C-alpha cells in the first residue's frame, strides 16, 4: 500500500471515529448544561412557590458571569464572593457536590428566618435562604465547576 493510501485510510478513520466522538461530547456537554439549568430552576422555584413568590427565569448573561467567576475559583475553591453586581450564594463540596445538595443546604436555613421581621434568629444564618426566595429577584444564572483538588464550587446569582 502506498503512503497516500495510508494517509487516506487515516483521514477516513479520523472522520468516522473522531468526529462522532467529538459530536457526542458536545451533545453530552449541552445536555449537562441543560440539566444544570433545570436543576437550579426547579429547586429554587419550588422553594419560592412555598412562600408564594413568583418563579425565576434563566438568564444566559447572568449564567455566563457566574461561570466566568466560578472558573476563577477552580484553583482553590475558596468560598469568596465575586463582589460583582449580583446577589449570590456559593457552596463548596469536598467531592462532587450536587446542585440539589447545595440548594438543600441553602433552603434549610428557612427555619431560622422570620418573615415578619425579615431577619434571622439570633446567632443563626439565613441569608442564603433569603437569596433563594428574594421577591425582587426575577432572573437566575448559575454555574458548577470541579476544582483542581477534586471538590466542587457552585455559584448561584
What pLDDT score does 35 carry?
75
What's the mean pLDDT when you consider all of the chain? Answer: 80
Predicted confidence (pLDDT) per residue in 24-64, tens digit: 333 333 335 567 788 889 989 999 999 999 999 999 999 99
Q: From CA 48, how far away is CA 9, in angstroms rounded?
A: 58
Q: Map grid coordinates 466560578 to a residue.
A: 70
Q: Which residue in 48, 67, 68 sits closest to 138, CA to CA? A: 48
pLDDT at 65 over 70: yes
pLDDT at 4 over 60: no
What pLDDT score does 32 carry?
52
CB 120 within 8 A of CB 126: yes
Predicted confidence (pLDDT) per residue in 89-145, tens digit: 999 988 888 888 999 999 999 999 998 999 999 999 999 999 999 999 999 999 999
What pLDDT score does 33 carry?
53
Q: Which helix (H) or strand (E) holds 75?
A: none
**β-bridge mates for residue 156, sequence order:** 89, 142
Query: Helices marked H in 73-107 — which ranges?
Result: 99-107
What pLDDT score does 14 carry?
35
What pLDDT score does 5 carry?
42
Q: Which domains does the chain have, with CATH numbers?
A: 3-156 (3.40.33.10)
4 grid coordinates: 497516500
Q: From CA 143, how far away is CA 157, in angstroms rounded?
A: 9
Strand pairing of 119-120 and 113-114?
antiparallel
pLDDT at 23 over 90: no
CB 53 within 8 A of CB 129: no
Q: Which helix (H) or strand (E) holds 153?
A: strand 152-156
Residue 139 DSSP SS3? strand
CB 154 within 8 A of CB 142: yes
Amino acid at each position: 500500500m502506498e503512503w497516500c493510501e495510508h494517509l487516506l485510510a487515516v483521514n477516513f478513520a479520523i472522520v468516522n471515529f473522531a468526529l462522532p466522538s467529538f459530536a457526542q461530547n458536545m451533545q453530552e456537554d449541552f445536555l449537562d448544561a441543560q440539566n444544570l439549568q433545570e436543576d437550579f430552576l426547579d429547586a429554587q422555584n419550588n422553594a419560592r412557590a412555598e412562600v408564594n413568590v413568583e418563579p425565576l427565569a434563566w438568564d444566559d448573561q447572568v449564567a455566563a458571569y457566574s461561570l466566568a467567576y466560578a472558573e476563577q475559583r477552580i484553583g482553590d475553591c475558596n468560598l469568596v464572593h465575586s463582589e460583582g453586581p449580583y446577589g449570590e450564594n456559593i457552596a463548596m463540596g469536598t467531592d462532587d457536590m450536587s446542585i440539589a445538595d447545595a440548594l438543600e443546604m441553602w433552603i434549610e436555613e428557612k427555619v431560622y428566618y422570620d418573615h415578619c421581621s425579615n431577619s434571622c434568629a439570633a446567632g443563626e444564618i439565613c441569608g442564603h435562604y433569603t437569596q433563594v426566595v428574594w421577591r425582587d429577584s426575577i432572573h437566575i444564572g448559575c454555574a458548577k465547576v470541579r476544582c483542581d483538588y477534586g471538590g466542587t464550587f457552585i455559584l448561584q446569582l
